[in-house]
Amino acid sequence: MSDFHQSGVITTFHRLGKYDLEAIETTLTEYTERRPIALVLPCLYSELEGPALKNILGHLRAVRYIRQIVVGLDRADRRQFDFARRFFSTLPQEVKILWRDGPRLRKLMKLMVQNDLSIGGPGKGSNMWLSSGFVLADEQCKIIALHDCDIRTYDRELLARLVFPLASPNMDYEFCKGFYARVSDRFYGRVTRLLVTPLIRALQKVLGREVPLLVFLDSFRYPLSGEFSMLADLARINRIPGDWGLEMGVLCEVFRNCTAKRICQVELCDTYEHKHQNLSADDERKGLMKMSADIAKSVFRNLATEGLVLSDALFKTLTIRYLRVAQDAVKQYEDDAAINGLPFDRHQEMLAVRAFTNALRLAADEYLHDPLGIPLISNWNRVTSAIPDFFEMLKEAVDQDCNGK
């Protein structure tokens, strides 16, 4: 059983005791008559060949309250796209697959670039953005939920808990973030434990005053989780990064576009397992090194938009402060593991801290060299302002692909 402690500036929904999934799903079926839900699944073709997504589909077949499933499919040729159509055809919900490597969607991406719109590079950010755009274009659903396709411990409870705070007419939330304990046989979630949380708390100390954005980010139990739900209208105005800074960038956009009382986080499950990224400490362009540098730059740039001045001197102090906070965190996690009888490799944890410190230096150097960095992906209001009939074009392209034309 989880605790029921409320902390930070957002509401936290805990997982308390026995959960009557059947009753909750029955209630959701009633709620979604008025607030229909679209589930967005950004995935690589390679994930169709693994066990995680097959298990996810097995659970989704029993879900009756989801009106539409939108699959953003990356890295697939024509034969693989046809296989994906058959793969997802077993679902009872209406399914739309965005073949992002297909000629029709490539043509639309080119059209946006020609109109000076930022579409991001290949990856989850642009996948999520385009898939959400299709939900807006189709105009069937008022809520968009999203989760990853590599969750090995997935079950229906995760999805029900993720969408309930927005589907319920008795709750008044616009955005819900999922969280969970990244613990199974040992502690996982190194980027959150050893980079994000220590970085946010180090920034609060170095800046010497309460910064609302940092207080907001520090309120999330697992800010890098890939699971969230939001009102469709929010997807229309949010701008997001197209790199590994996606999750932090989404939270920063939500901070700007919503009041705190309409933002919540919900505990989704007891355990959560998915594929793990390599640390790649010797290659700043890969693995967790690339991820951590992108996350840090996203935080820096969002602080700058709040009017904070980030200088070379500040970054030097920040690096030292971050290192101490992260080292203290390693000791805390080591003791937590010991009292729970879990293995803990202090040496590997300290190597990760050292790698993250190097990534932090790299992020600071890149920020000082180019504070603007890669432009955020254009929001959908901007797109439809530049190309008024874009939604009709997107819907037609997806429908033609899905119908095999």
> Which are the contacts of 184, defined by CB distance < 8 A and separation ≥ 6?
271, 273
28-32, 57-61, 206-210, 261-265: segment of lowest average pLDDT: 206-210
Tokens standing for residue 318: 């920040």
Looking at residue 77, its pLDDT comes to: 96
Looking at residue 4, its pLDDT comes to: 82
Average pLDDT, the chain: 92
Residue 147 has pLDDT above 60, yes or no: yes
Segment 54-73 shows an average pLDDT of 97
Residue pLDDT, tens place only, 95-143: 999 999 999 999 999 999 999 999 988 889 999 999 999 999 999 999 9
Phi, psi of 73 (to 5 degrees): -105, 120
Residue pLDDT, tens place only, 37-63: 999 999 999 999 999 999 999 999 999
Looking at residue 283, its pLDDT comes to: 57
Residue 1 has pLDDT above 50, yes or no: no
How large a percentage of the chain has pLDDT more than 90?
Answer: 82
Q: How far does CA 202 lie from the centroid of its chain?
A: 23
| In the block, residue with structure tokens 């969750």 | 151
DSSP string for residues in 210-263: --HHHHHHTT-S-TT-S-EEEEHHHHHH----SSTTHHHHHHHHHHHHS-GGGE
The three-point CA angle 188-294-370 to 5° equals 160
Tokens standing for residue 398: 């997806």
Residue 373 has pLDDT above 70, yes or no: yes
| Distance (Å, whole) CA 382 – CA 133 | 12
pTM: predicted TM-score of the whole model, two decimal places: 0.94
Encode burial over 68-100: b for 16+ CB neighbours within 10 A, e otherwise.
bbbbbbbebeeebbeebbebbeebebebbbbbb
Residue pLDDT, tens place only, 261-306: 999 999 998 777 766 566 655 656 666 788 899 999 999 999 999 9
Residue type, 297: K
Residue 182 has pLDDT above 50, yes or no: yes
Looking at residue 2, its pLDDT comes to: 57
Superfamily, domain 11-402: Spore Coat Polysaccharide Biosynthesis Protein SpsA; Chain A (3.90.550.10)
Looking at residue 280, its pLDDT comes to: 59
Q: Could you tell me which residue, 405 or 79, shows the higher pLDDT?
A: 79
Looking at residue 404, its pLDDT comes to: 79
Per-residue confidence band for 79, with pLDDT thresholds at 50, 70 and 90: very high
40 pairs with which residues across the strands? 70, 146
Residue pLDDT, tens place only, 230-247: 999 999 999 988 777 889
Q: Taking the alpha carbons of 224, 227, 230, 234 in that order, is the dihedral positive or negative?
A: positive
Residue 35 has pLDDT above 50, yes or no: yes
Nearest to 328 by CA among 355, 348, 346: 346
Looking at residue 188, its pLDDT comes to: 86
Residue 348 has pLDDT above 70, yes or no: yes
| Distance (Å, whole) CA 99 – CA 78 | 9
Looking at residue 120, its pLDDT comes to: 87
Q: Where along the chain do its domains lie?
A: 11-402
Looking at residue 282, its pLDDT comes to: 62
